[in-house]
Every structure is written in C-alpha cells, then in structure tokens.
Amino acid sequence: MQDELRRLPKVQTLLESDAAARLISLHGREDVADAVRAKLNIARSKIMAAGGASTSPISEPVFFNEIADDLSARNANTLKRAINATGVIIHTNLGRARLAPEAIEAVQTVAANYSSLELTLQDGKRGSRHAHVETLICQLTGAEAAMVVNNCAAAILSCLSALASGKHVIASRGELVEIGGSFRMPDVITQSGAVLREVGTTNKTHLSDYEQAIDDDAAILLKSHTSNFSIVGFTSAPSRQALSALARKTGTILVEDLGSGVLINLAEYGLKEEPVVRDVIADGVDLVTFSGDKLLGGPQAGIIAGKRALVDTVRRHPIARAVRIDKLSLAALRATLELYRAPHDPMARIPVLQMLAEPIEAIETRARKLAQAIRDETRLNAEVVETTARAGAGSLPQQDLPSAAVAVSNEQSSAEHVSAQFRSANLPVIGRISKDTFLLDMRAVSDEEVDLIARVAQTLWPHDA
C-alpha cells in the first residue's frame, strides 16, 4: 500500500506543470491548489480501499481536465436569469415579483451613483431613508406614518419586539400561520420576547375569547391574514372593527399581518377579493404589515403602516437597524409605489398585476406560437393544453387562473429528463410536471420569452441530432 501511495505525485510538482499554470491564470493559485489536493485525497482513498492493490497511475491530462471541470462548476454563476414557465406568477424560488421598467431604471440609477439615501437636501443634514417612501405609503393607505424593513417577516418581528417584548400577544389558533421555509408565527412571537396567548379554535374564534385572555400583561391583539390557505364551512371570527373597539377599550394594540397586501381592489379585475391595506387601516387596525414583492409587485420589502406613535416606537427600536431596507430595494419600492398614483394605471404598468389579469386569449396565442416553433425546429413533440395557474407566494389561495401550456415530450426521454434538460440550459427554463407530462405554462411568460424558449429547445433537441 505504501508503495502505491508514494507513487502519487506531490502537490507542488503538479502545480508546476503547464496544465496547472493555465488553470491558475483562470482561477488563481489557491483554488487550483485546493482542487489538486482534493483530487489526490480521492486517489489516496481509492488506494486504501483497494488494500494497496495496484492501481492505474494518474494521467496528468485527465487529472487536470477533471480539475478544470470541477473549478468551472464551482465558480459558475448560480444566480442567473431564468424563464418562469411554472404557472406560478409570484414564485418564491424564482425571485417573486418581476419589477416594472420604472423600478428597474430606479435601481440602475441608484446602483451606479451616489444618492440622497440618508441626506436631507434642503439643509444638508442627516435624514431618514424611510422618508423616501413614507409619504407615498401614507397617501396610498391612509396611514398616519409608515416605515420599511427588508421583508415582511422582519416587519412583524420588529413590531412585536418594539411593542410587546416581555408581554402577551393574543392570537387566534386559526391564524397561527406557517409560510415557506418553516417560518411560523408562534416562533416569531417567541423570538420577539413576547409570550403567545392562543385563543379560540382552528375554525372558530369569538370576540369573547380575546376578551377573556386580556390581562395586565396583554400588549397586542395579533390578527394574521391567512393568505396561503383558507378554512371554509363551520367558521367564525370577529371583525376587525370589533377587535379594534376591544383594543381601544382595553388599551391594547391591534396589529394585523396581511402577508401579501394589496393597494387596489382586485375584485374589480375579476380576481378574488383580498384585503386592501387602506380598508384594513380604515377598519381601525393600529399597525399593518405587508410584503413589497408579492401582490404589490415590487422588490423584497416589509412595510409597516399605521398610527404615528406606534410606527415611531418601532422605528427607534434597535432591531430596526438590523433589518433596515437597502438603497436598491428602496429605490425599486418607491418607483413601484409611484405607479399606484394617478395618472398611472398599476394594472397596465406592474408586471405581477398584468399577469394576474391577462385575458386567456393572449396566453393561448403565446402557447400556440411556442408549440408550433418547437414542432418545426426540434425533435420534441408539443401540443397546447388547458391548465390552471396560480398567484403563488401565499397569495390568492383560492384563485385558479385559467391558463394555457405547451405539453412537451420526447419518445426517448421521461418528463423528468426533459425538465432537467430545460432547467440546465444556459438560459434555464423552469416548467412543471403534471401527470407525467412536462408543461411550459404561458401565464408568466412574456412574448419575448416565447422565442427564447424555442431557441433553448432547438439547442437541446436539434432536428439533425
């Protein structure tokens, strides 16, 4: 065994070779040295596993070709553009909301230059980054004050930490939600330093349940909009107005986590009704939290809006610094919010809203165009099928969106293999598998992307291969 191990070349010897020099020029000496050591360790393990039996000597060209592949894979850009053909518009794994052109331009401007992020231009003194969006949010929601943090989870954590640490938070059992990534409301309450008091049952909670739970330690009545599931049938819950009256009577604070949060009435566009932030605040909720990158159609952000005294308290809490929004997201959020003000029509300018309300006829046109291109230019079979799309990201849980998809198949390949091939392309195309069929849903695919998908398919399955 020792003889076989001694035959392995030394790291330094390999690094002095011409093949190593070429790789070092591309990846740096440290990365190449680490890769060489890792390969030699694998070779040692094989020798020891073989009990010292004679093994083939290392072929330097093969050795460095494998290292080149390893380094290319390790250093490849993993955050890249992808085409969303899943039928889920606000797909968390694919980055949620696509930004409007105005928001993209705002990000580019702030990214490429210095900005007045925390500078008051009138007097040259330090300002607040919240000032860039606070007035807009208040105009759009009817709130007295507002602030923004880096996501909605941070928004609710900030509110609870600032207003209820060491005190009781009263919440209905039917609203103790869990969202993606095992984010659970009870865990957030605990993390804030507050004590959770559960009231009611899964399907029924009465105002009296809240009343009986309120004591001297009660600080917050917490309402969570169940945006990613629904309970139907034998159900009951007190209205916001009733909870607001109870909060005023008992000196507690009514906080509602809306999750998605919308600024316009989606029912006017043929969609399921979601609580509009302005209506929630008008109903007497003291603080509302909601996301920027879901139905609002902007960047990742958590928005806190409501009573000025409460917002100011949250703003002063140390956690607000830890979860503050960055300048790029702030620029995108302001530009997105501007599109909700006259003379703009948000349904015409914000991609998420456009996709939600787009007529099925336009989607079917894209599907037919793609299916024809795939049939003409590749070895794949393609046919248009009716399907159903979703809003996604815990939004509009009961809303089925009629859609059209291209069912793609190949006699020599499984649906999983076809999906993997599209996913591993230089421009990844992400579809979904339904009933052993790979589908490219057109609801969230733009007109431009139809041609791009066709080119990807042609590269992967050319006619002459």
φ, ψ of residue 79 in degrees (nearest 5): -100, 100
Show the tokens assigned to 324. 């503050």
| 41 lies in the same domain as 113 | no
Is 96 contained in some domain? no
Q: What pLDDT was estimated at residue 373? A: 97
Number of domains composing the chain: 3
Q: What pLDDT was estimated at residue 182? A: 67
| 336 lies in the same domain as 419 | no
Residue type, 184: R
Query: In CATH, what number is assigned to the domain containing residue 147?
Result: 3.40.640.10
| 335 lies in the same domain as 390 | no
| 323 lies in the same domain as 233 | yes
Is 212 contained in some domain? yes
432-434 and 381-389: which strand pairing? Answer: unpaired
| 232 lies in the same domain as 375 | no
| Predicted TM-score (pTM) above 0.75 | yes
Is 428 contained in some domain? yes
Is 465 contained in some domain? no
| 225 lies in the same domain as 117 | yes
Q: What pLDDT was estimated at residue 300? A: 96
For 100, which DSSP code?
P
| 313 lies in the same domain as 372 | no
The Cα 457–Cα 442 span in angstroms is 15
Is 306 contained in some domain? yes
Cis amide linkage into residue 343, ω under 30° from 0: yes
Is 179 contained in some domain? yes
Q: What pLDDT was estimated at residue 2? A: 72
The count of other CB atoms within 10 Å of the CB of residue 231 is: 13
Of 338, 284, 437, nearest in space to 140 by CA: 338
Edge-first strand listing for the sheet containing 401-409: 381-389, 401-409, 437-441, 432-434
| 344 lies in the same domain as 372 | no
| 279 lies in the same domain as 224 | yes
- Per-residue pLDDT in tens (0 to 9) along the chain, 465 residues: 677 777 788 889 899 898 999 999 999 999 999 999 998 888 888 878 777 566 667 788 888 898 998 888 888 888 999 999 999 999 999 999 999 999 999 999 999 999 999 999 999 999 999 999 999 999 999 999 999 999 999 999 999 999 999 999 999 998 888 766 667 888 999 999 999 999 998 889 999 999 999 999 999 999 988 765 666 667 888 899 999 999 999 999 999 999 888 999 998 988 888 899 999 999 999 999 999 999 999 999 999 999 999 999 999 999 999 999 999 999 999 999 999 998 999 999 999 999 999 999 999 999 999 999 999 999 999 999 999 999 987 788 778 999 999 999 998 899 999 999 999 999 999 999 999 999 999 999 999 999 999 999 999 999 875
Is 284 contained in some domain? yes
| 333 lies in the same domain as 192 | yes
Range of the domain at 404: 83-91+356-460
| 344 lies in the same domain as 364 | no
Which of these three, 328, 348, 368, is where a domain ends? 348
| 209 lies in the same domain as 276 | yes
Q: What pLDDT was estimated at residue 225? A: 84
Query: In CATH, what number is assigned to the domain containing residue 434?
Result: 3.90.1150.180
Is 271 contained in some domain? yes
Q: What pLDDT was estimated at residue 7? A: 79
The Cα 99–Cα 352 span in angstroms is 8
Which of these three, 293, 314, 348, is where a domain ends? 348
